[in-house]
Structure 1
């Protein structure tokens, strides 16, 4: 079970939670980029397309660890283009909901000069907590 942490009097966050408290098995997902994980090749240079693929890659790793989108407690996005992110917030919201529904973990967005893979526009890492059975 996860508890959303929202201090009294704070403004409501949009598309993320300020904090999450959780108990259980922790699953760490390394930074995933927007390429096809089977071929390690990019199928698009589109910012939203790469974000969509990166989120799907995160979900595949989560599933391997017995976790799903609702178990994600924390996520960090690294993006190379602030303007592209801001220009595509609605489309990114749709991509998010297609993969994660209305679950919004504690999130951080970091603008970076570049990523290891030159064509990568976004890299996403996640931490999930699967509740104990019983």
Structure 2
């Protein structure tokens, strides 16, 4: 959501496909938004940064929804969606936000029921960020 569809390294000879969403930290920190290897696609940590700005400041539920939608957008690049998600991780900065973030997870993945982890962390890269999420998906078409 935060940039162009830049597929640096996509279709490389080592069988690893990389997807860059254009987020400001991807180039600065040297990582890909998502990496596909074999049957799996791993999406890096996503927060509620939309078009370079934090969306839904102070609202953990909507920050979680925005972060998961960014992750799902990355999966779309590989032809996958929420139904293909097999594992999620949620990092929250306050335990009081667990119900709100869990509710967002349920709204998006309640029918899918991936393996999930939620942990409380000391903080995220921007103190206004209340949640960061990671997603792993199974594409099952790779051989």
Answer whether TM exceeds 0.5 for this pair: yes
Using structure 1 for the length normalisation, give the TM-score.
0.69
Larger relative contact order (CA 8 Å, sep ≥ 6): 1
- TM-score, reference length from structure 2: 0.65
After the TM superposition, which residues 5-20 of structure 1 pair with which residues of structure 2 at under 5 Å, given as runs?
A: none
Correspondence for 1:57: 70
CA RMSD of aligned residues (A): 2.0
Matches for 1:1-134 after TM superposition, within 5 Å:
25-36=39-50, 39-45=51-57, 46-86=59-99, 88=100, 92-93=102-103, 95-132=104-141
Equivalenced residue count is 105
Instruction: Give the distance between the partners of 2:60 and 2:106, measured in 1 at CA.
Output: 17
Deviation at 1:67, TM superposition (A): 1.3
Query: For the residues of structure 2 that align with 1:76 and 1:96, how far apart are their CA atoms?
Result: 10
Residue 76 (structure 1) shift: 0.7
- Whole-angstrom CA distance in 2 between matches of 1:30 and 1:58: 8
- In the TM superposition, structure 1's runs of 4+ consecutive aligned residues that sit over 4 Å from their partners are none
State the distance in 1 between where 2:87 and 2:93 align. Answer: 20
Point out where structure 2 has 5 or more consecutive residues left out of the alignment. Answer: 1-37
